[in-house]
Amino acid sequence: MAEWSTTDIIAVTTLYQCVEAAYEQPQGVDRHALLQAYQDFQQVVPQKFEEKQLDQAFQTVSGYSIYRTVKQARATDGMVKMKGWASAWNRSGNN
């Protein structure tokens, strides 16, 4: 993994926050904001294998899938709201 600038870190963190919002916020996250954050993320992480590694690491600690969330955003209009084991796990007080 190359050294990241502050701008790179912000781009990656913004995507993580959008994905978290899709799972945690009652209204979800705006599709356009999520897809823009993903495009910015891809500028920082252009290789698919590195993207998959970061997705796996993020999913391990959060329970949230970047891949599934972006896939859902591409298939829908408006807000993206994810449901999954992480949402139920967090609601049960296990976070």
Report, as an integer, the average pLDDT of 39-58: 96
Report, as an integer, the average pLDDT of 40-69: 96
The pLDDT mean for the chain works out to 89
Give this prediction's pTM. 0.85
**Pairwise CA distance, residues 53 & 66, whole Å:** 11
Q: What amino acid occupies position 14? A: T
Contact (CB, 8 A) for 59 and 52: no
**pLDDT tier, 9 (very low <50, low <70, confident <90, very high otherwise):** very high
